[in-house]
């Protein structure tokens, strides 16, 4: 294979991987249900390294596996696990019992370690890959089990809706790809046609509000540029830094959750850490910390009624690679936050990281199903029957005993 072709293929594969880990723009969906509890689901796209976020520092094997990645000390949590230094701002939340973790968990996905398949299973709530897993998402199916739930999709910006929210329950979306090639006159005409549509109008105002937070610019269309507010929003989101994006999304979600909205879902990218993980993960963790701190600050007293569930498609390899990063793995971690969560704890059945205990000789062994913990939160918040959760929301799941995640 000649050098130019090899370079082209290398770049193409890198782009495909990063596309799965960091969507062009972040979708957000909001919904109202007859409950006083607030649920926030954050999808961490790219395969978060749970072993770096929540380090088993009490095991001397860790430094041998990860001499570069584990060089910096983290914040000790319980004498065995330590928190990554970039999340030190969350330590008060841990001490207040508002932050917890679940370690050594994964979806039922095994061995192939593809971002696309892994995310499909995570968001669909299924136990297998295949075309049928892309039909609906577990959060959408869950809404169908709650009487009088009102689906309120304020806006979804991106190439397509999050699979997490796809399904029979009605949603709406706006995609920049459908309007970027239109002339300014065509855009103005389209806006005039839908000017009296309440859903379109509300979505536009929500988008303008978020774009203003991200870009700090005036959002009115001008004759000089012919650029409408939605286009400016897309540009501002693209230019904003990760922490700024995460903070803006969290602030926007919190504003709705203080009102009639009860469920919010969005995604954060940047978790694919093949190269120089000490730098890449630091940035990703920074945006997660900003999102959680912003949610708590903006929700005020509502924070005590809130559970935040952060999930990722798979973990990373136990050993660091030759580029100071980690490759796609299996067992990973969940992050739980909120005043309604029984935090200050690390949940899960820890398998250890000795050589014989690893999955396929390379990954943290998953000892539990990530769906089980999500299911128990849904049951605690909305009183859903186990049969509905195990058959409809998360097909094939055995919820087993209650892990006691909620106060």
pLDDT at 215: 46
pLDDT at 230: 46
pLDDT at 146: 86
- For residues 124 and 139, give the distance between their C-alpha atoms in angstroms, rounded to a whole number: 8
Q: Which fold has domain 25-179+243-393?
A: Alkaline Phosphatase, subunit A (3.40.720)
Regarding beta strands 306-312 and 82-83, do their DSSP bridges make them parallel or antiparallel, or are they unpaired? unpaired
**Radius of gyration of the chain, Cα coordinates, nearest whole angstrom:** 21
pLDDT at 12: 40
For residue 146, the SS3 value is coil
Instruction: Please state whether the predicted TM-score (pTM) of the whole model is above 0.85.
Output: no
- For residues 254 and 251, give the distance between their C-alpha atoms in angstroms, rounded to a whole number: 5
Return the biggest CA–CA distance within the chain.
68
Cβ atoms 342, 404 nearer than 8 A: yes
CA distances from 53 to 7, 90, 235, 284, 286 (A): 33, 12, 31, 10, 11
User: Please, what is the end-to-end C-alpha distance for the chain in angstroms?
Assistant: 60
Q: What angle, 0 to 180 degrees and rounded to 10, lies between the N-to-C axes of helices 229-239 and 198-215?
A: 40
- For residues 27 and 267, give the distance between their C-alpha atoms in angstroms, rounded to a whole number: 7
CA angle, residues 72, 75, 80, in degrees to nearest 5:
100
- For residues 228 and 222, give the distance between their C-alpha atoms in angstroms, rounded to a whole number: 7
Average confidence (pLDDT) per 10 residues, the chain, 407 residues: 44 44 53 83 96 97 95 92 97 98 97 91 88 82 82 40 77 41 47 52 48 43 42 51 85 86 89 95 96 97 98 98 97 98 98 98 98 98 96 96 98
Regarding beta strands 38-44 and 263-268, do their DSSP bridges make them parallel or antiparallel, or are they unpaired? parallel
Adjacent-strand bridge partners of 312: 44
pLDDT at 155: 34
- For residues 298 and 250, give the distance between their C-alpha atoms in angstroms, rounded to a whole number: 8
CA distances from 306 to 35, 289, 393 (A): 11, 16, 21
């Amino acid at each position: 294979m000649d050098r130019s072709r090899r370079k082209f293929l290398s770049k193409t594969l890198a782009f495909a991987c990063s596309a799965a880990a960091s969507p062009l723009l972040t979708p957000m969906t909001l919904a109202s249900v007859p409950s006083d509890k607030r649920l926030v689901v954050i999808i961490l796209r790219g395969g978060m390294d749970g072993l770096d976020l929540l380090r088993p520092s009490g095991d001397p094997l860790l430094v041998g596996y990860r001499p570069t990645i584990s060089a910096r000390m983290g914040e000790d949590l319980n004498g065995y696990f330590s928190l990554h230094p970039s999340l030190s701002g969350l330590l008060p939340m841990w001490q207040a019992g508002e932050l917890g973790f679940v370690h050594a968990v994964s979806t039922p996905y095994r061995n192939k370690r593809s971002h696309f398949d892994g995310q499909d299973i995570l968001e669909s709530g299924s136990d297998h890959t295949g075309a049928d897993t892309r039909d609906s998402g577990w959060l959408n199916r869950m809404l169908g089990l709650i009487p009088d739930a009102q689906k309120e999709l304020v806006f979804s910006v991106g190439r397509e809706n999050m699979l997490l929210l796809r399904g029979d329950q009605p949603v709406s979306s706006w995609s920049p790809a459908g309007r970027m090639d239109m002339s300014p006159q065509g855009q103005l005409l389209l806006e005039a046609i839908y000017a009296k549509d309440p859903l379109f109008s509300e979505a536009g105002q929500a988008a303008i509000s978020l774009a203003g937070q991200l870009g700090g610019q005036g959002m009115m269309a001008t004759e000089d540029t012919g650029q409408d507010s939605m286009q400016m929003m897309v540009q501002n989101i693209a230019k904003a830094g990760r922490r700024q994006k995460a903070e803006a999304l969290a602030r926007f979600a919190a504003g709705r959750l203080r009102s009639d909205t009860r469920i919010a879902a969005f995604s954060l990218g940047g978790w694919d850490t093949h190269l120089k993980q000490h730098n890449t993960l630091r940035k990703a963790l920074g945006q997660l910390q900003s999102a959680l701190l912003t949610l708590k600050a903006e929700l005020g007293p509502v924070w005590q009624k809130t559970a935040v569930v952060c999930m990722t498609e798979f973990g990373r390899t136990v050993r660091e690679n030759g580029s100071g990063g980690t490759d796609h793995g299996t067992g990973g971690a969940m992050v739980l936050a909120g005043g309604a969560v029984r935090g200050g704890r690390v949940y899960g059945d820890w398998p250890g990281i000795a050589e014989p205990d690893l999955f396929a000789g390379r990954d943290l062994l998953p000892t539990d199903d990530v769906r089980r913990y999500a299911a128990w939160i849904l049951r605690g918040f909305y009183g859903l029957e186990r049969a509905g959760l195990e058959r409809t929301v998360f097909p094939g799941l055995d919820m087993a005993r209650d892990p006691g995640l909620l106060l």
